[in-house]
Amino acid sequence: MGIMIRRLSTMRRLEIISVTNSAGVAPALLSSTAAFAENLALPSPLRNHHRLTNSIRFLESRSLVTFSSSCLSSSSAAYLPTLDEFSSTTSSVARDDDNQKVVLKGMSYAALQEWVESHGFRPGQAMMLWKRLYKDNVWANDADELEGLNKDFKRMISEHAEFGALSLKDVRSASDGTRKILFTLDDGLVIETVVIPCDRGRTTVCVSSQVGCAMNCQFCYTGRMGLKRNLTAAEIVEQAVYARRLLSHEVGSITNVVFMGMGEPFHNIDNVIKAANIMVDENGLHFSPRKVTVSTSGLVPQLKRFLRESNCALAVSLNATTDEVRNWIMPINRKYKLSLLLETLREELSSKHKYKVLFEYVMLAGVNDSMDDASRLVELVQGIPCKINLIQFNPHSGSQFVQTDEDQMIKFRNVLAGGGCTVLMRFSRGNDQMAACGQLGMLGSVQAPVMRVPERFRTALKASV
């Protein structure tokens, strides 16, 4: 009995859980109006413990939380998620196979070190393993690539650990050099990652945090999918590792990470923070925290937590200057209004030194691109250290919206700049391979509902709703 208690205690401290087949819960998440996963109390942070002997089995299985669904009709006047808190649904850090193997890239360094010690090896060997996973241009994907590690250590790793959480499905190249990488997950679901080269010597990898998305932003193709499940920390981290391993020789050093792929990162905040911490570890992938940017549609409680726990950069997808428009194109605004979102940023950023939030603003012709919108935007961001990124809308199948033309974007930018704002402009990259902002994912037979269009905006759209 004492041994069993120690096993379970170690499991909790190391944050290692096993995976169950998420395909079984996917039908319950048919659209972005489905209920979010129930709250889950994640294992407590690592604490010191007595070293386990080799006779103690290290891993114990733990089942996933269950999902509930509560769909609203597309004509519903009030879209609101069913939970007060957008807690992370959790998936695996370890695979539930016969050998109870842990996925190495799902662990923080502290957890990896404790795992290595639990098998009777020295802490220094954990650092050697960590560096071969993430550093020195090794990016090891199997035990044969662990050069410099002794045979017994490599044998233990082969017997008790897995290197990868993703399987490469395809790499597609756009005419402008952008690459879209498709990965298959253990449960057969597919995610997409984008690598964006830049002439200025900066190359960015755009990672996904979920399969699909629950936010149902009306201009986003991923949002049409609804949410299938969250990605684990291992599945997020490995996207960046794969990008470096596959493409560094073609596009040069990958210097930046943006959490702007499939999914709402703050709806999976536990795994996103964990993955970001691994990415910025100085002995690991060693991205600068200011070059790892996590984007959100505006989940206020998670935004507060992120700003207090992480040194990485924050982007907020704003896209409207009134609640009327934002309620329509970003239904999360019905829960967290513009005023609450912006006031939270003012308060939280007041105590952070030399920190600026990036506001993302997708420009939709006749919807949010008027000069009145530009003037309102100047007023809305007063008192918030920020930059504003004006983003060209990227059309996709079934889209209602039309791109703002470049001349109008420039006029909009000039109003912002005249109001004292720092403004950037982002034009489409990779759109001929559906790799541009808002184009990732693949629709299934059931899709998220289209929100009712306010009467005065219907003429601005390509088709009436």
Select which of 162, 192, 235, 264 is catalytic.
192
Tell me the C-alpha to C-alpha distance, in Å, between residue 236 and each of 23, 32, 126, 145, 268: 19, 21, 21, 22, 11
Q: What angle do CA 377, 425, 334 make, to 5 degrees?
A: 40
Listed residue (155, 42, 48, 143) closest to 92, CA to CA = 42
Where are the extended beta strands (E) located within 322-454?
Answer: 357-363, 386-392, 423-426
The two tokens of residue 240 are 């960046």
Amino acid at 275: A
What is the distance between the alpha carbons of residues 252 and 433, in angstroms, rounded to a whole number? 21
Active site residue 343: no
Contact 380, 342 (CB under 8 A): yes
Coil, strand or helix at 103:
strand
Residue 151 per-residue DSSP state: H
Amino acid at 392: Q
Active site residue 192: yes
Can you tell me which residue has the tokens 């200025």?
200
What is the distance between the alpha carbons of residues 118 and 110, in angstroms, rounded to a whole number? 12
Can you tell me which residue has the tokens 């920020």?
386
Query: What are the two backbone dihedrals, phi and then psi, of residue 112, each rounded to the nearest 5 degrees?
Result: -65, -45
| Crossing angle of the two packed helices 109-118 and 2-14, in degrees rounded to 10 | 150
What is the distance between the alpha carbons of residues 408 and 186, in angstroms, rounded to a whole number? 45
Q: Where are the alpha helices (DSSP H) in 119-176?
A: 123-134, 151-160
What is the distance between the alpha carbons of residues 119 and 96, in angstroms, rounded to a whole number? 19
Contact 205, 256 (CB under 8 A): yes
Helix, strand and coil in the chain, % to nearest 5: 35, 15, 50
Can you tell me which residue has the tokens 């041994």?
3
Residues annotated as catalytic (active site), given as ranges: 192, 437
